Structure 1
Amino acid sequence: MIPNILTIAGTDPSGGAGIQADIKAFSALGTYACSAITAVVAQNTQGVRSFVALEPSFVADQIDAVLDDVRIDAVKIGMIANAGIAEAVADRLRHHEVRTIVLDPVMVAKSGHALLDPDAVAAVRERLVPLATVITPNLPEAAVLLEREDDWSVETMQAALPALLSMGPEWVLLKGGHLTDSAESTDHLASADGVTVFPAPRIATKNDHGTGCTLSSAIAALLPQRTVPDAVAQAKAYLHGALAASDRLDVGGGHGPVHHFHALWANTADTRP
């Protein structure tokens, strides 16, 4: 049976991040995509210009409309925007007894534009993190969640994992992409049973728009039929391929998107009219 996956996130009209990236990743990995929009974002490959958060009650209505009708096998949560939306999302997921949730605590765009109100951090930490099967913070996001300085090493990453787990998720995937002094990008996956380290070589490309959205949505797409460690490993392999093939795309003048359909469009250059 084909899994149905719901993304709850903001938009990206340039197609590389947010809801659009999630739907592409779900589709590329053979699952059916549903969505509930939290915010409409004016952004492109060069940055975020502005965004409008939707009313929390309307976000809740979207979630109810899907979950009242469609069997949902996993949920990915991305941009939340404010505390009211965080409360609404948590309330509806609890009401519908959703069990498989991947939370990407989106706080700042790659351009540096804030995507989460400061007063919403506590709501994300206290209401959404404990619901999550997996949370996927990068290092700046982990620093905000832990209320610590954003200065990291591999050793401090490992030391932070118990504190992140104490917030209530079943698993933490702490992403090391911001440790740019290394030739590898090393992620740490932790649960109460231990830690798995996922090293990966860095890919020399500026086309890394939407990498966090894509990884978390890939994990959500894979979780219904895999264990968490297997889903993370396969999601990382999928993202690695999407990054490696990103230069085949010509989208925008800034940080271009990854190639979500790299495995499906293998002969694109040969089939264009």
Structure 2
Amino acid sequence: MTLPTQQTKTPIVLTIAGSDSGGGAGIQADIKAISATGGYACSVITAITAQNTQGVSAIFPIPIEHVAHQLDAVFSDLNIVAVKVGMLADSNIIRTVAEKIKQYRPQFLVVDPVMVATSGDLLLETDAISTLKSELLPLADIITPNLPEGAALTGLAIPNNEDEMSNMIVDLRLLGAKSVLLKGGHLEKDESSNDLLILKDTVDELRAKRIKTKNTHGTGCSLSSAIASYLAQGNDLQKAVQLGKQYISEAIAHADELEVGEGHGPVNHFFNGHTQLR
């Protein structure tokens, strides 16, 4: 069944991801970011993590048939304009999600290839990376890897500087997505936190001042969700990415206003009440 893809009064965004019991990343962060940027969030949970600001202690994948039932439920009733995909845990879930994306054909697909948490915990089984590359990434309008994820996807070394980031461009294009946002947040020695928006024939650099804070839990989840939200509201890809970058930069800048946990705390999704950037 194919649902209409035209923009509606209510920009509905589906997040397909894992649940973070600590509330800082995953489904919880996605819903906050989509809501804060003016979208309506619905969700499909792929895994339940036992997680807090200090790390992940357990992961329970949701049974495949129930992931499929959740996807059918939301797509059959809601006019979902954009989909954000995060943590998928294993190959079977990746295949199921890819099949449903092909079946329902949402207008926009944003894939955050979640592999490693801010704490360093592995969130994607290593044997699932090839499935992700073959089944899901070629369907995406944009994928949003950080530097370790970019390295895992391409087989290249993790970049240590912006020149080495640029050396990934050709290999990232070969993954088949329409565009790639390569995030430079892991270059912690740099004064700026710069990302590369890799399009078919061009590369745009998005610059932002680096914020000194340990409270960056859920940054990648929130950025990709914000991009999906802005796409659902009718922005073109480059504008949606620009607005998403602006949103997450502000959320990080205000992160220390929150007091959540003893480890890597969350970003401040609602740093200015209902935050809709234009």
TM-score by length of 2: 0.93
Q: How does 1:120-199 map onto structure 2 within 5 Å?
A: 120-199=128-207
For the residue of structure 2 that corresponds to 1:48, the secondary structure is: strand
How many Å separate the matches in 2 of 1:3 and 1:264? 19
How many Å separate the matches in 1 of 2:100 and 2:53? 32
Please name the residue that 1:16 is paired with.
Answer: 24
Shift of 1:265: 7.3
Q: 154-163 or 128-137, which moves further after superposition? A: 154-163
Deviations 1:89-140 (A, max 9, x none): 0001101112300000000111111111111000111111001000000000
Runs of 5+ unmatched residues, structure 1: 267-273
Alignment RMSD: 1.2
Please name the residue that 2:46 is paired with.
Answer: 38
For the residue of structure 2 that corresponds to 1:68, the secondary structure is: helix
- Conservation of the 8 A alpha-carbon contact between 1:139 and 1:152: no
- Conservation of the 8 A alpha-carbon contact between 1:26 and 1:218: yes
Please name the residue that 1:269 is paired with.
Answer: none
How many Å separate the matches in 1 of 2:274 and 2:54? 25
Runs of 5+ unmatched residues, structure 2: 1-8
Please name the residue that 2:271 is paired with.
Answer: 262
How many Å separate the matches in 2 of 1:165 and 1:10? 27
Select 2:95's aligned residue among 87, 96, 100: 87
How many Å separate the matches in 2 of 1:193 and 1:19? 33
Is the counterpart of residue 7 in structure 1 residue 15 in structure 2?
yes
Structure 2 letter corresponding to 1:129: L
How many Å separate the matches in 2 of 1:148 and 1:243? 29
How many Å separate the matches in 2 of 1:192 and 1:151? 22
How many Å separate the matches in 2 of 1:257 and 1:97? 32
Please name the residue that 1:200 is paired with.
Answer: 208
- Conservation of the 8 A alpha-carbon contact between 2:118 and 2:216: no
How many Å separate the matches in 1 of 2:180 and 2:73? 30
- Conservation of the 8 A alpha-carbon contact between 1:11 and 1:37: yes
Structure 1 letter corresponding to 2:269: H
How many Å separate the matches in 2 of 1:112 and 1:238? 24
Please name the residue that 2:4 is paired with.
Answer: none
Deviating above 3 A after TM superposition, structure 1's stretches of 4 or more consecutive aligned residues are: none
For the residue of structure 2 that corresponds to 1:164, the secondary structure is: helix
How many Å separate the matches in 2 of 1:208 and 1:25? 14
How many Å separate the matches in 2 of 1:160 and 1:150? 10
Is the counterpart of residue 229 in structure 1 residue 218 in structure 2?
no
Q: 76-85 or 54-63, which moves further after superposition? A: 54-63
Deviations 1:66-109 (A, max 9, x none): 00111001000000100000000000110111230000000011
Identity of aligned residues (%): 48
Please name the residue that 1:251 is paired with.
Answer: 260
Shift of 1:153: 2.2
Select 1:65's aligned residue among 73, 88, 106: 73
Structure 1 letter corresponding to 2:256: D
- Conservation of the 8 A alpha-carbon contact between 2:222 and 2:248: yes
- State the number of aligned residues: 266
- More relative contact order, 1 or 2 (CA 8 Å, 6+ apart): 2
Deviations 1:173-197 (A, max 9, x none): 0000111221111100011130100
- Conservation of the 8 A alpha-carbon contact between 2:20 and 2:52: yes
- Conservation of the 8 A alpha-carbon contact between 1:16 and 1:256: yes
TM-score by length of 1: 0.95
Structure 1 letter corresponding to 2:93: I
How many Å separate the matches in 2 of 1:83 and 1:59? 13
Is the counterpart of residue 238 in structure 1 residue 247 in structure 2?
yes
